[in-house]
Amino acid sequence: MEGPKVAAKFPAALNLEPGNYFWCACGKSKNQPFCDGSHQGSGIVPTQFKIDEKKDVFLCQCKQSKNAPYCDGSHNNL
């Protein structure tokens, strides 16, 4: 199995509404940082997460975070 592709070396700063989301874990989605189904056949699956109230988030785009889907600064080591 191939590892995830680095989509960007910076987080996606977003203001998200309450709801369920699917974070792209493979790095192939054209809708970063969210899944668009491009992972099919890669062996990597998206991470589902829930937002309970409107808030600002920083979502990982380097796909190396130990706190996925949230950025932990791992992009600084690439």
Res. 1 pLDDT band, cuts 50 70 90? low
Host domain of residue 28: 12-77
Question: Does some domain include residue 6?
Answer: no
Note the pLDDT of residue 2: 76
Note the pLDDT of residue 76: 97
pLDDT at 36 over 70: yes
Note the pLDDT of residue 20: 98
pLDDT digit string, tens, across residues 63-73: 999 999 999 99
Contact 25, 44 (CB under 8 A): yes
Q: Which residue has the tokens 């809708």?
A: 31
Non-local (6+) Cβ contacts of 25 within 8 A are: 4, 35, 39, 44, 45, 46, 47, 63, 68
Question: Does some domain include residue 51?
Answer: yes
The total domain count for the chain is 1
Contact 31, 24 (CB under 8 A): yes
Average pLDDT over residues 58-66: 98
Question: How many Cα atoms sit within 13 Å of 21 on the Cβ side?
Answer: 23
Question: Does some domain include residue 2?
Answer: no
Question: Does some domain include residue 26?
Answer: yes
Question: Does some domain include residue 3?
Answer: no
Cα 33 to chain center, whole Å? 5
pTM for the model stands at: 0.94
